[in-house]
Amino acid sequence: MSGVVLYSVISLTTLGALFGLGLALAARKFAVERDERIDRIDAVLPGVNCGGCGFAGCLGFARALVEGKAEPVDCAPGGAETANAVAEILGLEKVTKVPVVAMVGCRGGDRVELKLDYDGVRTCAAAALLCDNVRACSYGCIGLADCAEICPFDAIEIAEGCAVVDDSRCTGCGKCVGACPKQIIYLVPRPKKVRVACGSLDKGKSVKSICEVGCIGCGICVKNCPVKCIELKNNLAIIDHEACINCGICAAKCPTNSIVDRVSVRPRAVIGPSCTGCGDCVKVCLFKAIEGEPGGKHAVVHEKCIGCGLCRDVCKEGAVTIAGALGHLPEE
């Protein structure tokens, strides 16, 4: 009897070994060879797995790149440096990409009165679904931090009831854009520092009655923009960021401060000794920041000057310089 049992055990062992061998041979025969470029690309990616590219983490993005389903520039956190490293691995031409940053098109927050005492699920998505907005402005930031919760870089916080982006931490991955139910978070070119922080499409009188920092569609920014890159659409100022030169005139002229200027330190105009007193700079200055008698050397009132550079551009003698920064030229 014991011999039968031993034979059975040996037979089962042999059968198992044969099955294992068969599976190993089949696996080798039908295995799909992994493209080594996937691992090389994954190694140069940031590794934050933010999902901003639209794929499941950095490895999923690497696989999509090799399969031709994504572009090297689709990785926002990596920027141009990562994009070029990926392009080199794939044998593509060097790419250029202007880095982007998220901005919130609202500054209302606690400045806008509450419409109701919301006691539901504490997310923007739930509040928007239930009551559109907890505040009087239906377009504004709800302030329940959906964007901050989803940001993988801790670049967003809620301050005074409104979402605020920390440009130094934001990588432009775009996850916050998709998380905002009011659709007031946008990606803008990082070098462009002048931005409209309002999303209301209501008429000026209605906006003014509920929000002190909302765009009232007055058109002052449109009138004063030296490169004509601002227009009013549905009562809201819209900046063409590609054409914007960061001069800051619109922000300085905006009566409600709904246009923000993120340039940390503005330069100032300085008039040198070669000034002939022609007065062209006085005529072009929108802030009455230049004084002087005709024919005499002019001077800049620095408390009024915003360093926009218009005076420099019209000075035929080259007597005006912009000190302290790049003037009205786009920052790099």
DSSP 260: E
- The model's pLDDT over 7-28, given as tens digits with 9 standing for 90+, comes to 454 555 565 555 666 666 655 5
Residue 165 belongs to a domain: yes
* 173, 136: one domain: yes
User: What is the pLDDT, as a whole number, of residue 74?
Assistant: 86
User: What is the pLDDT, as a whole number, of residue 327?
Assistant: 41
- The model's pLDDT over 106-130, given as tens digits with 9 standing for 90+, comes to 999 999 999 999 999 999 999 999 9
Range of the structural domain that residue 291 is part of: 268-323
User: Residue 326: CB partners within 8 Å, gap ≥ 6?
Assistant: 267
* Structure token pair of residue 219: 């058109």
CATH number at residue 252: 3.30.70.20
Domain stops at, among 147, 164, 187: 187
Pairwise pLDDT comparison (73 vs 162), residue with the higher score: 162
Contact 32, 66 (CB under 8 A): no
User: What is the pLDDT, as a whole number, of residue 332?
Assistant: 36
Separation of alpha carbons 242 and 256, rounded Å: 24
* 216, 173: one domain: no
Q: How many domains does the chain have?
A: 4
Lowest mean pLDDT among 48-57, 179-188, 237-246, 303-312: 48-57
CATH number at residue 69: 1.10.15.40
pLDDT level of residue 48 (50, 70, 90 thresholds) = confident
* 45, 114: one domain: no
- The model's pLDDT over 280-317, given as tens digits with 9 standing for 90+, comes to 999 999 999 999 999 999 999 989 999 889 999 999 99
User: What is the pLDDT, as a whole number, of residue 189?
Assistant: 92
Domain stops at, among 124, 157, 187: 187
Residue 210 belongs to a domain: yes
* 138, 113: one domain: yes
Distance set, CA 100 to CA 111, 171, 190 (Å): 28, 7, 5
Is the pLDDT assigned to residue 51 strictly greater than 80?
Answer: no
Distance set, CA 282 to CA 268, 287, 320 (Å): 15, 9, 12
